[in-house]
Amino acid sequence: MDIKKKILVAWIAFEAFSLCIGLPAAAQIVDRVMFSTAPRAAHVVTPVSPGLTEIIVASNAPFTVLSEGAIGEMSMELTVSGTVNGTAFGTQAQHPGQISDCVMPTAPTQTSLYTATRRTAANRGEVISQAVMIHIKYDPALTPTFVVKTLDQREAKSAAPAMMCNVLSS
């Protein structure tokens, strides 16, 4: 065997040996590193009629629904799946957490009406398939503004929580 063949065989043996050591180490690194995406909550606010607004929300993290510009009782309901304008939503969604059926913002500043304890997405899929619908009924004379924020956003952290209606009547 000439020197070139010996170098080539030695190099291939070294590569094979390195591969046997390197793969398990690389696998451990992949197992220990957590890959994650930034928390997001996509939403569409639709004023259906005076006194009724529907918000469709798809999130990969817990979120909160904020209201601004209204004081008074608001009844809330959450639908996990259904159709909106002939398009199905919620086929890959989960219930994001308990919702109070009646809340009351006590100031016209940003108030948290609902705080989800988990994401809406149960499985992978299109955004609309991971969405849930929140129905909010309020005095038709009011014109509140609604937004949805993930819990790590500044607005969500600084908003005052709304009072539950049954607490006020006790």
| Whether residue 83 sits in one domain with residue 109 | yes
In the block, residue with structure tokens 């016209």: 108
List, for residues 96-140, the tens digit of each pLDDT value: 999 999 999 988 999 999 999 999 999 888 999 999 999 999 999
Whether 18 and 81 share a structural domain:
no
- pLDDT at position 13 is 80
Range 148-156 average pLDDT:
92
Q: Are residues 23 and 99 in the same domain?
A: no
In a shared domain, residues 82 and 3: no
> How many structural domains are present in the chain?
2
Residue type, 112: S
pLDDT of residue 66: 95
Residue 34 has pLDDT above 90, yes or no: no
Strand order across the beta sheet in which 41-49 lies: 41-49, 52-59, 132-137, 74-79, 102-104, 163-164
Shared domain for 109 and 47, answered yes or no, is yes
Domain with 132 in it: 41-169
Q: Given pLDDT bands bounded at 50, 70 and 90, which one contains residue 170?
A: very low
Task: Looking at the structure, tell me whether residues 26 and 50 fall in a common domain.
Answer: no
User: Which CATH number belongs to the domain containing residue 165 in this structure?
Assistant: 2.60.40
Residues 65 and 87 in one domain: yes
3-class SS at 143?
coil
